[in-house]
Structure 1
Amino acid sequence: MTATPIQPEDTERFRQARLSRDSRFDGQFFVAVKSTGIFCRPVCPARLPKEENVDYYYHAAQAMHAGFRPCLRCRPDSAPLSGAWNGVNTTVKRAETLLSAIPPQPVTTIAERLGISERYLRKLISSRLGMPPAQWQKYQQLLFAKRLLQQSDMSVESVAAAAGFGSARRLQAAMKQTWSMSPGQIRGSKASGPDVTPVIKVMLYYRPPYNWEHVQHFLSGRAIAGTESVTDNTYRRVFSGPHGKGTVVAEHQPQHSAFAVTLVTDFLQGARAVLDNLSRVLDLHADPHLINQALTAAGIPPGDIVQGLRLPGVWSEFEAGCRAVLGQQVSVKAAVNNVALLVNELGEAAGEGSAFPLPQAVAGSDLAFLRMPGARKQALRNLAGFYAQDDRLTGAQGDKESTLLTLKGIGPWTIDYLMMRGVSDPDRYLSGDLIVRKVADKLNPEPQKAAPWRSYLTLQLWHMADQLKQEKPDA
């Protein structure tokens, strides 16, 4: 079974990136060294091997499937996610995401969620990734376990639980079978901590440049008091949902091109999902080089482009939808105040604060505490009623959007905002946004030329509007 081969043009790009240790390519491919049986990130500080001893892979799991074991020095499990599959159809991308989830779901269930047969799913994944779906799932679990063993002081039992293996014995057997190494050998001299409410500490890496100042300003201006907080170098979030309750704190460490993350949760098996969601909120897997090219192509003057621009996300789709509805026809400050009222009245205690309320709580409330028109309150209840029905969330993205648009009070702008920040869809241009229209009228950009990164064009225009306000404070 062979994965989609590396394209010739990619081979040359990867060769140059490997030799220069270009950090822009970190996570886009992996370097397997045939003479040592080890695979690395392109930024690995180890001595560069000869080209004839090297194989390239788009995914870490593909290198593992070919018989290579991960480098203990550069930690391939920590690399930003690959953008190599941007051109692949939506079903493959969704399948890859669902198969990477921990705890793993049965392949049959994933096929049902995708609306395809199990046989077709196996054929699709095998042809694209070079291995059966179950094998892909196992490799994702192993890579996450390795990450926790090397970066945290959790016990092997807790690591096994967090990676979805159920027991230390099963984790050890899987590592021995795949890498011929035990958890102890991977951990090395690092001591494990006591098995009490484990604190998970990991590094989440990104491709520089990363404009933390822009992300920090954007998130702090929209932070919900008691639920999230933003300081000069940290983002803190209280969460509650299907992946457990707890608190996560991310500290920016630009010298490492990473965030140092501390996660406290009551549900270890949900840890991977929480960390993945945090990576999405902070937009850690973006490729700033491609985004820069897209903004230039759309007509943004090079001197005005925000270097290292990122798309700050919202913790969940539902929360993003609520923010959009509560922000209709009011200022950002007024919208944040409305969101804070919603959390204060209906939020759930979690960690050291209040988590955003569940859809069921909003759908069942009269929302009398909100100072806004009755029609907007009903629109919020309509949105909550949709998200309260979990079966609605398993269908295709297009079907979901079509259904949302049938809800009274939910229009195209609300849907675009929800998808841009709640799902982190990179290709949403908010043409109906008042601020975007005002800046676009002056600049006359060509949004279609920014595809598939039009969400970043929206962020860029918002940023330019803020700059104009600072230059003309009385305007």
Structure 2
Amino acid sequence: MNKATHPMYQQARLSRDPRFDGVFFVGVKTTGIYCRPICPAVLPKEQNVEYFASAAAAAFVGLRPCLRCRPESAPGSHAWVGNDTTLKRAVTLIEQAALDSDHALLLEPLCERLGISSRYLRHLFAEKLGVSPTKYANYCRLLFAKQLLHQTNLSITDVAFASGFRSLRRFNEVFMQQLCLTPSALRRNADSDANRDVHALTLTMSYRPPYDWHALVAFFQLRAVEGMEWFSEDGQMGYGRTLQIGRAETRLRGAFFAYQQPERHCLHVKISLENDANLRLLPQLVQTIRRILDVDAEPQAIMQRLLPLVHLTPSLSLTEGTRIAGVASMFEAGVRAILGQQVSVTQAIRLLNQWVISTGEKYQIGAQQRLFFPEPAMAYAADIALPMPQSRRNTLHALCQWCHEHDDHQSPEQWLAIKGIGPWTVAYAKMRGQSWPDVLLTSDLVIKKQLQLLRDSSALADREFEHWLVEQASPWGSYLTFMLWRNATQSRD
């Protein structure tokens, strides 16, 4: 990375600015390690450092991760991707596939989903990151393993397989090559208060401040399913819910409860797993939690893009630290969207609770009986008759059938073939089920009313205004959507 291209990085490093945590990494030539910009170690001289766009880029010039600031704990950042939508999807898919220990990383199927050649994908990674897709995936495995060794009491063998390595021998080899340290040596240096129960893990998830935690929890609370979501645990106020990853015999069921530690710019996340849990799916579970809570958002970049909107629309109120409130899956997001068509939020959540309680199942997680959102097959077989128009019941039933017959990798745009599903439903599902950052729901009834107020305070015509707003908000349209929803709630209050 060229220092001249990012002059603010030097100041961010010197001030240990948490807003840049995970946005870049600092390589120290004299020690051979790389750090987060918030590292508490004595600051090296500027002539002895080099800046990297990612941890993987630092690792593949021979640097080792710092044992004090732990780069694997930094919030994720794809700032180096820029506005390249294809590369953003590729990075997300590779990070998911990297930690799937049941399969090697196969580039050809991945490229088919992206609609590009493997040669072009390699070119994108080489140009933007300086490493191949396979090396990037391997480093994702290594950093997740390092986090588990530091923060949990899982056995080294469990850590190896949970991180996507196919053998303990290969895990030890890669660990030694990259870190010049064995897993057992790192475990000896890990926190003494690490979790002792392999079915009850506690992880720390750092974020870049500010984080409007109270607004996110309030959003979840208004739309909660009783028994599936809760907001207090062991005297702490926060957000918890059940999750199941995978299908059939490989499924992993669990629950998490997260609460904020604002002074440390992190969330404390307690994870409870079912007995005989399939630990190979633990990485996907952790990634899903990160997505639901949107811990990897970049508030500074988002606000820099959205602030110019205020100049032409003075009535627009922007809240820095807004997060996308995710849900567990595209299927859940689609169900929520269908039940929310042409009814109030209160009525939609009443219907959702009736549906989940009727079709979902309860399982013992820790000491609690918890309710789980139903799988598509179970929901399709149940076909509950909710108090709503028959046409909407048919749409819901058709979505259950479609999701049962297709895998999770299908594009939600294909839902448009289902009668009763339009662009709003697909966009809503992408925003909350995939946490896609650039979804400005201009067709949403509440957003329409908010846009009308903004349009009245601008000098632009109706169609011109909407086109301008979508363009100006990109690639952070989803965050503007949540801000506008919040403005509507505050104006009612």
TM-score w.r.t. the length of structure 1 is: 0.90
Query: What is the CA–CA distance in structure 1 between the aligned matches of 2:451 and 2:197, rounded to whole Å?
Result: 54
Secondary structure in 1 matching 2:307: helix
Counterpart of 1:106? 105
Residue-by-residue CA offset, 1:279-336 (whole Å, 9 max, x unaligned): 1111111111222233322236499322321121111111011001001111212111
Aligned partner letter, 1:362: A
Counterpart of 2:302? 291
Counterpart of 1:36? 31
Counterpart of 1:161? 161
Query: What is the CA–CA distance in structure 1 between the aligned matches of 2:226 and 2:2, rounded to whole Å?
Result: 48
Counterpart of 1:451? 474
Aligned partner letter, 1:256: R
Q: How many residues align?
A: 459
The within-5 A match list for 1:35-434 is 35-101=30-96, 102-103=99-100, 105-107=104-106, 108-187=108-187, 188=189, 190=191, 197-231=198-232, 233-242=237-246, 244-265=252-273, 266-299=277-310, 301=314, 304-350=317-363, 351=365, 352-368=369-385, 370-391=386-407, 393-394=408-409, 397=411, 400-401=412-413, 403-434=414-445
Query: What is the CA–CA distance in structure 2 between the aligned matches of 1:182 and 1:468, rounded to whole Å?
Result: 57
1:59 CA drift (Å): 0.8
Counterpart of 1:9? 5
1:177 CA drift (Å): 1.8
Indicate if the aligned counterparts of 1:27 and 1:81 stay in contact, CA closer than 8 A.
Answer: yes
Pair 1:144–1:128, CA change in 2 (3 A): same
Query: What is the CA–CA distance in structure 2 between the aligned matches of 1:125 and 1:431, rounded to whole Å?
Result: 34
Indicate if the aligned counterparts of 2:81 and 2:87 stay in contact, CA closer than 8 A.
Answer: no
Secondary structure in 1 matching 2:27: strand
Aligned partner letter, 2:242: V
Pair 1:98–1:7, CA change in 2 (3 A): farther
Residue-by-residue CA offset, 1:122-146 (whole Å, 9 max, x unaligned): 3443343222322222111110111
Aligned partner letter, 1:408: K
Indicate if the aligned counterparts of 2:78 and 2:88 stay in contact, CA closer than 8 A.
Answer: no
RMSD: 2.3
Query: What is the CA–CA distance in structure 1 between the aligned matches of 2:16 and 2:42, rounded to whole Å?
Result: 11
Aligned partner letter, 2:105: P
Query: What is the CA–CA distance in structure 2 between the aligned matches of 1:127 and 1:452, rounded to whole Å?
Result: 21
1:214 CA drift (Å): 0.5
1:120 CA drift (Å): 4.1
1:238 CA drift (Å): 0.9
Pair 1:468–1:137, CA change in 2 (3 A): same
Aligned partner letter, 2:406: D
1:191 CA drift (Å): 5.2
Deviates further, 134-143 or 231-240: 231-240
Deviates further, 323-332 or 164-173: 164-173
1:185 CA drift (Å): 2.4
Query: What is the CA–CA distance in structure 1 between the aligned matches of 2:161 and 2:485, rounded to whole Å?
Result: 43
Indicate if the aligned counterparts of 1:32 and 1:40 stay in contact, CA closer than 8 A.
Answer: yes
1:66 CA drift (Å): 0.8
Counterpart of 2:462? none
Aligned partner letter, 2:446: I
TM-score w.r.t. the length of structure 2 is: 0.87
Secondary structure in 2 matching 1:100: helix
Deviates further, 50-59 or 286-295: 286-295
Aligned partner letter, 1:241: I
1:23 CA drift (Å): 1.1
Secondary structure in 2 matching 1:44: coil
1:106 CA drift (Å): 2.6
Instruction: Show structure 2 runs of 5+ residues with no match.
Output: 459-464
Aligned partner letter, 1:394: H
Secondary structure in 1 matching 2:160: helix
Pair 1:130–1:217, CA change in 2 (3 A): same
1:112 CA drift (Å): 3.7
Query: What is the CA–CA distance in structure 1 between the aligned matches of 2:129 and 2:75, rounded to whole Å?
Result: 18
Query: What is the CA–CA distance in structure 2 between the aligned matches of 1:330 and 1:204, rounded to whole Å?
Result: 36
Pair 1:133–1:106, CA change in 2 (3 A): same
Indicate if the aligned counterparts of 1:154 and 1:192 stay in contact, CA closer than 8 A.
Answer: no
Secondary structure in 1 matching 2:79: coil
Secondary structure in 2 matching 1:235: strand
Residue-by-residue CA offset, 1:326-365 (whole Å, 9 max, x unaligned): 0111121211121112211211334331211111222333
Pair 1:83–1:134, CA change in 2 (3 A): closer
Query: What is the CA–CA distance in structure 2 between the aligned matches of 1:32 and 1:85, rounded to whole Å?
Result: 17
Pair 1:76–1:301, CA change in 2 (3 A): farther
Indicate if the aligned counterparts of 1:219 and 1:230 stay in contact, CA closer than 8 A.
Answer: no
1:149 CA drift (Å): 0.9
Pair 1:195–1:22, CA change in 2 (3 A): closer
Indicate if the aligned counterparts of 2:24 and 2:53 stay in contact, CA closer than 8 A.
Answer: yes
Secondary structure in 2 matching 1:239: strand
Secondary structure in 1 matching 2:164: coil
Aligned partner letter, 1:253: Q
Residue-by-residue CA offset, 1:372-397 (whole Å, 9 max, x unaligned): 11100111122222222334x535x5
